[in-house]
Structure formats: C-alpha cells, structure tokens
C-alpha cells in the first residue's frame, strides 16, 4: 500500500486542469451495455474505479480500450454476472443491473455490501426495477434478477438516490412504453448520463429535475461523448487554495455545478471569480467559520463535507456541519483531531472550533473524501503529515500529488 508524505505550510499558487468526472464516467460506461454499436468516450479520468469498471465490462462481454483519457467500448454478446471480488471493491458496479436486465433480461450481481460511510442499501433500485417487471432473489450474497421484458412504470423514489435514478434511467430507455421517475436525483452526473443516452438515440425529458420522463425505444446506436468535468475534484482544489492561503486558476472547472460550494467558500472569506481561462480562487485573509448542511443537489454536496471541514478547522470562530445523506461520514474527524483540530461530534452533527495551527502527524485514510480532507489538512499543517492507505484516494483523484506539486505543494508518494 502507498502513503503520501506532505510537508505543510506552502501557499499553493498556479493553475491546474480539472479531470473528467468519476461519478459521471462510471454510469456512462455502464450505459454502453445498452448500445448495439461501439461508443467513444472522451475526458475519462485515469482512476482506479474507471479501470475496475472496464474490467467488469470486459467480464460482461464488452470490449474496452482505454488510452489518453479516452475509452472505446463495444458491447458483444453479453454475460449476466458481476462477481463479488470486483463488486466489493466498487459499489457502483450495481449500475450494471438495469442495463443487463434491459438488454438480456437477466443479471447476477453481487450485493455491494456497506462501506466506511454507510450501509448503502440498493432497495430503491430493486423496487423500481420490480415495478418495471423484473423479479429478484437473493442467493449467497448475489442479486439474481430476471425479466421477460421491462415495461414502463410510474416510479417514486423514497429519497433522491443518484445510483437508483441512474439504474432506472438506463433500464427505462429500452423498456416497452413510458416511464416516469418521481423524486429523482438532480445531480449533474445524472444529467450527463441522460445527455449521453440522448446522444445514443434515447427519448428522455426532465433530466436535472425531480421528475424524469422516458419513452422507451427499440435500440440505441453508438455515439462520441465527452464526460463532464469533476465538480468534486474542482471543489477539493478550491478548498486547497483556501486552506493554504494561495491563489489557483482551475481550468475546465464546472463553476455552474458548484454553486452551493463556492457560496460557502465565499462566506468563509475566499474570493472566487469565473474568468475566460477558468475559475480563479484566492484567499488573502483568515477564513471565517460557517455552518453547512449536506443535501441532495443543488444543496451542499456530501462529497465535499470532509474537505470543507478541514478548512473550518483553521477558520476563525465555530462552524457546525450536519451530514444528512450518509450515516457514518465523519471518519475524518478523529484523524483531524490527531493533527490538533478541535471537533465535537454528536450523531449527524459536528461542531468545529477553529484553531490557529494544525500540526503534521501520521493519519489514516478511511474513504475517498476523508482521504482528501487529510491531504488538505496536511498542506496547511506545520511539519510533516503521513497519509496512509491512499488507495482510497486513488479511486477518485488522478495522481493528486502530481497536480498539487505542480502548484507548489511538497508531497511525495512512498510504499508503506
């Protein structure tokens, strides 16, 4: 396993380019199962989860080539099985369920199980697919799904689930008749998936709203498509400029999809402006504490909660964080406390009292975004911070140390 060694205290100054979005690329790759022609996807980030997905697609009968952030995928004669040894490393594998049922009427997908941040059930996915005519059994930790054909249905989610909306959207585009998804997730990554499916000949309206209408078609052709930029990577680097009192220009930064984040960072005292080159962010004064409650899009994203908490640790005054999406997404708190942060948690609430300095220390990454928050804290801390188990980080950030070192950070990667 690798670890990152970070020498803190250097303001980040310079420009960076935001990569393609992991959480848009993953569903779009699974959607290629629906096509009866090849597709070419551009701006696909070089990430662990992407390569896991390409491996799984290969096992399902699709041929995939990845080169220079571009993927050429051609569905062949499909097989129904997504094995546990792959699914357990990436829960998004459950997104093959809808496409497999739509294409071959059967699927054998390992139940993803929980992860560090929560139980992560998939009941909404299964309930919606059952309404469309699928039947499921659970056997030795695998979901066995089958259907003669999928029929359009009027489906209302109990909560706006990103994965649930994506699975049902992919199932509905080839279903018989019309489907309505109520209380659908509005995340930009869901919209990006819908745009890819539209480019392949699907009939979809209402993407980006909580009511999506799909009219099933008999086939989907191939397409060339560029994946959107990663708003969470961009938000993480905005926070990096803030925590180091630096100045960054972020090229390909999806500013429109980051409004809830940029507003909060501006409330903390950061200057963020959109220029023709990209988004310019600087932080020339001490940060002020703010209160944040995570919400489904367009609210403050849960995937930025750990990162803004690192900023709050060094802000003047007290900040309150309420995590409403996942039941266990404060794993970074104990590690930040090892660096001198003053944080009290009670259930879904964390109270952060700003301190003048953090001190470098050995810390342990537990999940993708918690790892990012520890890197941010290490960039600002006095002395050396060792972030261990950074395979979590590599799932969602393309060689983060190279990007940060290109703007002045002092980070090296070592074998643990």
Q: Where are the alpha helices (DSSP H) in 32-83?
A: 48-59
- Among 36, 65, 123, 259, the residue binding ligand EPZ under the rule CB under 6 A is 123
Q: Could you tell me if 170 and 144 are in contact, meaning their C-beta atoms sit under 8 angstroms apart?
A: no
In the residue annotation, 115 being an active-site residue is answered as: yes
Interhelix angle 305-313/231-243, nearest 10 degrees = 0
124 is in an annotated binding site: yes
Interhelix angle 123-131/97-104, nearest 10 degrees = 20
138 is written with which tokens? 């659970």
230 is in an annotated binding site: no
123 is in an annotated binding site: yes
Q: Could you tell me if 294 and 300 are in contact, meaning their C-beta atoms sit under 8 angstroms apart?
A: yes
CB of 369 to ligand EPZ, least distance (A): 5
23 touches ligand EPZ (CB under 6 A): yes
Q: Cα(first)–Cα(last) distance of the chain, in Å? A: 5
361 versus 400: smaller Cβ distance to ligand EPZ: 400
Site for ligand EPZ in 124-153 (CB under 6 A): 124-125
Q: Closest-CB residue for ligand EPZ? A: 163
For 293, phi and psi rounded to 5 degrees?
Answer: -120, 125
355 is in an annotated binding site: no
23 versus 179: smaller Cβ distance to ligand EPZ: 23
Tell me, rounded to whole angstroms, the distance of Cα 28 from its chain centroid: 13
Active-site residue, selected from the candidate residues 64, 115, 147, 313: 115
48 touches ligand EPZ (CB under 6 A): no
Interhelix angle 231-243/259-267, nearest 10 degrees = 10
- Report which DSSP code applies to 245: T
Placement of tokens 């690329």 in the chain: 25
118 touches ligand EPZ (CB under 6 A): yes
Q: Which residues contact 127 (CB under 8 A, 6 or more apart)?
A: 155
Q: Is the peptide bond before 298 cis (omega within 30 degrees of 0)?
A: yes
342 is in an annotated binding site: no
Judged by CB under 6 A, the stretch of 72-80, 154-162, 355-363, 377-385 that binds ligand EPZ is 154-162
122 is in an annotated binding site: yes
Map residues 234-273 to x or -, x wherever contact with ligand EPZ holds by CB under 6 A: ----------------------------------------
Judged by CB under 6 A, the stretch of 38-46, 123-131, 235-243, 398-406 that binds ligand EPZ is 123-131
Site for ligand EPZ in 82-111 (CB under 6 A): 92
Q: Output the CA torsion sign for 92, 96, 102, 105.
A: negative
Number of residues that bind ligand EPZ (CB under 6 A): 24
**Cβ count within 10 A of residue 339:** 25
368 touches ligand EPZ (CB under 6 A): yes
117 is in an annotated binding site: no
Q: How far apart are CA 320 and CA 312, in angstroms?
A: 9
227 is in an annotated binding site: no
396 touches ligand EPZ (CB under 6 A): yes
- Among 159, 263, 284, 349, the residue binding ligand EPZ under the rule CB under 6 A is 159
CA distances from 105 to 29, 56, 61, 297 (A): 19, 18, 15, 32
- Among 19, 32, 43, 161, the residue binding ligand EPZ under the rule CB under 6 A is 161
Map residues 294-323 to x or -, x wherever contact with ligand EPZ holds by CB under 6 A: --------xx--------------------
Q: Which residues contact 103 (CB under 8 A, 6 or more apart)?
A: 33, 34, 75, 78, 174
Catalog residues that contact ligand EPZ under the rule CB under 6 A: 23, 26, 92, 118, 120-125, 159, 161-164, 185, 189, 302-303, 325-326, 368-369, 396
Q: What are the binding residues? A: 22-23, 91, 120-124, 303, 325
Active site residues: 115
Q: What are the binding residues for UDP-N-acetyl-alpha-D-glucosamine? A: 91, 120-124, 303, 325
């Amino acid at each position: 396993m690798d670890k990152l060694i970070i020498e803190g205290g250097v303001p980040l100054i310079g420009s960076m380019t935001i990569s393609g979005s992991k959480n848009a690329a993953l569903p779009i790759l699974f959607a290629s199962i629906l096509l009866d022609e090849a597709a070419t996807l551009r701006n696909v980030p070089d990430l662990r989860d992407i390569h896991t997905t390409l491996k799984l697609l290969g096992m399902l009968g699709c041929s995939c080539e990845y080169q220079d952030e571009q993927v050429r995928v051609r569905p062949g004669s499909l097989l129904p099985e997504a094995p546990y040894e792959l699914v357990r490393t990436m829960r998004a594998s459950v997104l093959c369920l809808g496409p497999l049922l739509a294409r071959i009427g059967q699927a054998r997908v390992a139940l993803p199980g929980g992860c560090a941040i929560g139980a992560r059930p998939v009941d909404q996915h299964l309930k919606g697919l059952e309404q469309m005519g699928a039947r499921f059994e659970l056997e030795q930790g695998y979901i066995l799904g089958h259907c003669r054909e999928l029929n359009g249905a009027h489906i209302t989610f109990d909560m706006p689930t990103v994965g649930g909306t994506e699975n049902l959207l992919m199932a509905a585009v080839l279903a018989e008749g019309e489907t309505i998804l109520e209380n659908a997730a509005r995340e930009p990554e869901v919209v990006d998936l819908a745009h890819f499916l539209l480019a392949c000949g699907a009939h979809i309206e209402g993407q980006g709203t909580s009511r999506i209408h799909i009219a099933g078609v008999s086939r989907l052709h191939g397409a060339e498509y560029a994946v959107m930029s990663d708003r969470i990577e961009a938000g993480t680097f905005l926070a990096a400029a803030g925590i180091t009192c630096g100045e960054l220009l972020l090229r390909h930064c999806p500013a429109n999809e980051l409004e809830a984040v940029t507003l909060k960072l501006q409330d903390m005292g950061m200057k963020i402006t959109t220029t023709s080159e990209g988004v310019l962010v600087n932080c020339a004064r001490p940060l002020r504490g703010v209160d944040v409650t995570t919400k489904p899009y367009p609210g403050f994203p849960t995937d930025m909660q750990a990162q803004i908490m690192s900023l709050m640790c060094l802000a003047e005054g007290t900040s309150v964080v309420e995590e409403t999406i996942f039941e266990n997404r404060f794993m970074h708190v104990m590690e930040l406390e090892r660096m001198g942060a003053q944080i009290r948690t009670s259930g879904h609430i964390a109270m952060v009292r700003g301190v003048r300095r953090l001190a470098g220390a050995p810390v342990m990454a537990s999940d993708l975004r918690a790892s990012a928050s520890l890197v941010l804290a290490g960039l600002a801390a006095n002395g050396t911070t060792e972030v261990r188990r950074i395979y979590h980080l590599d799932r969602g950030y393309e060689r983060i140390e190279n990007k940060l070192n290109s703007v002045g950070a002092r980070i090296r990667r070592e074998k643990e």
